[in-house]
Amino acid sequence: MMNGLFKNNILKVLTAALMTAVLCACSSQMTSLLDERELYSSDDNYRTAYEIFVYSFCDSDGDGIGDLQGVISKLDYIEDMGFDAIWLSPICPSPTYHKYDVTDYTDIDPEYGSLSDYEALIAECHARNIHVYNDMVMNHSSSQHPWFKEACDYLRSLAPGEEPDPSECRYLEYYNFTDKQSGGYSRVLGTDWFYEARFWSEMPDLNLDSPEVRREFKEIAQFWLNEGCDGFRMDAVTSYYTNDKNQSIEALGRFVSDVKEIAPGAYVVCEGWASQADYSRYYASGTDSMFDFDFADSDGIIAGTVRGSSSLERYVTAQISEQELYASFNPDYINAPFYTNHDMGRSAGYYAGDDADAKVKLAGALNLLMSGTAFVYYGEELGMKGSGKDENKRAPMQWSSDAGAAGMCSGPAGMDSFSMKYGSYEEQLKDPYSIYNYYRQAVRLRRIFPSISRGDITSIVYSGPGSIIYIKEAEGYAPVMIAINASSESVKIDIPDEASSFNVLSGSLNVSSDKVSFRSGTLTLPAYDVAIFTCE
């Protein structure tokens, strides 16, 4: 019979051996260990979201067009990646493939299915704790919307020179009609009247001054929230009032307060494609999130950092300064980092040379290591290609290299014919160092360590050429220390004494089979790799 002390010693030795095994574990072993870790689930709006361009994601009925049943069939994939929210591109009836010009705000485009398909999608998502955000296009409607058609028909019915009478057509005030022609306005055919349409003649701008339009959108929000929708991605909020930021912010604020009155926990994230100085001010509307455009696209901070044209230190200090900037407009803000979306060329085209695939991976990590609700555009986890015309940026999700395989979409008409740079999902699934497996690991790390998504950056522990180490802390959660090597060479870093409490190498993102190691306070971080430390 063992005495207590002996038993304790055996336990200590076994624990030490286990820790050594963990610390020295090669990447694939660490991957499998992390695979068994539980993903942290929040009840609030700190999420990791997947942007789905529905038309090109997954086709369930063989017509080549993605649809809601197709999305449902891929929820296991989305959940396994670690995403706990999806943003659906517009799903309401529309004459275009992208459906950003809506003809009926409270129905589903027949190409995508029906309201009962939407309800099934909501039920399946909520069973997996995945939130669903609808795209809300409030800046403009389709020129085919009954509101607009009725208003134009009325104007056409007037005798020459006759003044319109708003009491005879309630939809006149829904749009901005004028008898003076100017830039950004299109003619109502058959009349001398013009209407504001800044993006395109078939997208007439809505008059957000109108209490009736506000009432309509409150009812639309109510409709979708009743359907189980968890929030909205607001399209083009900086275009609500051309050249008048304050009015745009006020109009957004009215909608946000209507949404929060109906469902206080609902989430609102906004597209304001503008400078950070401009889009940060939209937090004053009370919106939860603004997409963090400064970090996105081929010329944003993430791509610049990976390319080496901007320093890792800037990547970190820019996050520290925006923490204060956004909080100054809305103390409850949740940042919405993203790297690419349906309007941007895909990441696979940003980098050339031997290290290109490592750079695509690291860029994905730099997005997913940021605080807030991070968004990933579908297909980026496969390194899909697509640039130039918009249709190319919305190419069919590469489930298989066989374009005729089940679920494959045909893509928007007018898309150029081009081949992908990296393999399909089927192929990448088998390769532990594929872009897919890297992204999956990055999303899951974000879910395993809540301080990655919920924390503020509280200190920079080390900053060297091409590498950096910093700490993220969130009240109520274990802090993490993040080490990033954005250079093409392996680095050895002695962890400074003041950070020595972060003594457990708890996770890593590896672009190759080179190992991350941590021995006697020295971290060896291979080229383009990331390591996550926690305290014992």
Stretch that binds Ca ion, among 48-56, 57-65, 220-228, 335-343 (CB under 5 A): 57-65
Whether 271 is catalytic is yes
Rounded to whole angstroms, the Cα distance separating 371 from 163 reads: 54
Bridge partners of 270?
A: 234, 290
Least separation in angstroms between residue 214's CB and Ca ion is 35
DSSP run (H or E) holding 303: helix 301-307
Q: Please tell me whether residue 44 binds Ca ion under the rule CB under 5 A.
A: no
Bridge partners of 140?
A: 205
- The nearer residue to Ca ion, 129 or 410, going by C-beta atoms, is 410
Handedness of CA 190, 196, 201, 203 (dihedral sign): negative
Angle between helix axes 435-448 and 356-368 (nearest 10 degrees) is 20
> Annotated catalytic residue: which of 51, 135, 235, 529?
235
Q: Which of residues 230-269 bind Ca ion (CB under 5 A)?
A: none
Q: Residues 63, 179, 299, 494: which binds Ca ion (CB under 5 A)?
A: 63
- The nearer residue to Ca ion, 152 or 408, going by C-beta atoms, is 408
Q: Residues 47, 56, 59, 204: which binds Ca ion (CB under 5 A)?
A: 59
Given a contact cutoff of 8 angstroms between Cβ atoms, the answer to whether 347 and 383 are in contact is yes
Stretch that binds Ca ion, among 60-68, 188-196, 349-357, 493-501 (CB under 5 A): 60-68
Least separation in angstroms between residue 64's CB and Ca ion is 7
Binding residues for Ca ion, how many (CB under 5 A)? 5
Stretch that binds Ca ion, among 55-63, 244-252, 292-300, 434-442 (CB under 5 A): 55-63
Least separation in angstroms between residue 61's CB and Ca ion is 4
Least separation in angstroms between residue 69's CB and Ca ion is 8
Least separation in angstroms between residue 402's CB and Ca ion is 17
Rounded to whole angstroms, the Cα distance separating 501 from 260 reads: 42
Least separation in angstroms between residue 62's CB and Ca ion is 7
- The nearer residue to Ca ion, 65 or 312, going by C-beta atoms, is 65
Q: Residues 67, 109, 196, 529: which binds Ca ion (CB under 5 A)?
A: 67
- The nearer residue to Ca ion, 67 or 322, going by C-beta atoms, is 67
Q: Residues 35, 44, 61, 165: which binds Ca ion (CB under 5 A)?
A: 61
Q: How far is CA 391 from CA 82, 89, 113, 293, 297, in A?
A: 28, 14, 22, 21, 17
- The nearer residue to Ca ion, 58 or 203, going by C-beta atoms, is 58
Under DSSP, is residue 471 helix (H, G, I), strand (E, B) or coil?
Answer: strand
Q: Which of residues 121-140 bind Ca ion (CB under 5 A)?
A: none
Rounded to whole angstroms, the Cα distance separating 478 from 214 reads: 43
Looking only at the bridges linking them, the beta strands covering 522-525 and 517-519 are: antiparallel
Q: Please tell me whether residue 65 binds Ca ion under the rule CB under 5 A.
A: yes
Query: Smallest Cα–Cα separation from 88: which of 56, 133, 124, 48?
Result: 133
Buried b (16+ CB within 10 A) or exposed e, 30-58: bbeebeeeebbeeeebbbbbbbbbbbbbb
Least separation in angstroms between residue 72's CB and Ca ion is 12
> Annotated catalytic residue: which of 271, 322, 380, 381?
271
- The nearer residue to Ca ion, 57 or 240, going by C-beta atoms, is 57
Whether 192 is catalytic is no
At residue 136, what is the residue type? M
Q: Please tell me whether residue 117 binds Ca ion under the rule CB under 5 A.
A: no
Residue 305 contacts by C-beta under 8 Å, 6 or more apart in sequence?
311, 312, 314, 315, 366, 486
- The nearer residue to Ca ion, 67 or 109, going by C-beta atoms, is 67
Using alpha carbons only, give the angle 305, 309, 313 rounded to the nearest 5 degrees: 50
Under DSSP, is residue 297 helix (H, G, I), strand (E, B) or coil?
Answer: coil
What residues line the site for Ca ion (CB under 5 A)?
59, 61, 63, 65, 67
Q: Which residues are catalytic?
A: 235, 271
